[in-house]
Amino acid sequence: MPLSPLPRSFYDHDSRILAPLLLNKVLVVGERQARIVEVEAYAAAEDPASHAYRGPTRRNATMFGPPGHLYVYFSYGMHWCANVVSGGRLDGHAVLLRAGAPVAGVEAMRAARPAARRDRDLCSGPARLCQALGITGADDGSDLVVASAEGPWLGEDGTPPPRRPGRSARIGITKAVDHRWRWFVAGDTNVSR
């Protein structure tokens, strides 16, 4: 099936509802495509681990805009990470894209990530995924509903989300550690360690 964008309404849900529905969707940047295999939900005001916990700031402004856009932030002084803005308008919900399976443009991904020894290492982490696809702060705010030639967008190729996704606590955070808001495609080798 050819790749087609999803309607705005697809994104207009609580992040914990949208997160598992993003599994097996395809993130596209130019010729590069990666199937989403791991995500985490961040629930704004009710989630101390969320960048949106304390309300709107310069950095997280995109999270407080309409759903279906990409929130990209700079992490640890050297990495970019990407989220899909969800929820209704003005509530700050988002879903972190943590890993993908390379689908197309694999040569370009290898060139962008010389440190990756195997292809399974190309997109197996939130910063790795962005590096492989060439996503940076310049892409913050991109509209994923519009299939653009250059910028990032999100496509659907007919593959449904897993009927029974893997689920666990979120990774790499120090607050609200107990919530099991991470979902992944069970058994997929591209899921981060």
- Tell which residue, 39, 49, 75, has the closest CA to residue 188: 39
Question: Is residue 145 within 8 Å of residue 7, measured between CB atoms?
Answer: yes
Going by the DSSP 8-state scheme, the letter that residue 62 receives in this structure is: G
Cβ proximity to DNA: between 28 and 84 the closer is 84
Q: Smallest Cα–Cα separation from 181: which of 165, 191, 170, 173?
A: 170
Q: If binding is defined by CB under 7 A, does position 69 make contact with DNA? A: no
Shortest distance (Å) from residue 82 CB to DNA = 8
Rule CB under 7 A: say whether 110 interacts with DNA. Answer: no
C-beta of residue 125 within 8 angstroms of C-beta of residue 37: no
Instruction: Determine which residue in the list 19, 33, 35, 40 makes contact with DNA, applying CB under 7 A.
Output: 40
Binding mask 118-157 for DNA (x = CB under 7 A): ---x---xxxxx-x--------------------------
Best CA proximity match to 85, nearest among 126, 55, 35, 44: 44
Site for DNA, rule CB under 7 A: 40, 42, 49-52, 54, 57-60, 71, 73-79, 81, 83, 94, 96, 113, 115-116, 121, 125-129, 131, 170-174, 192
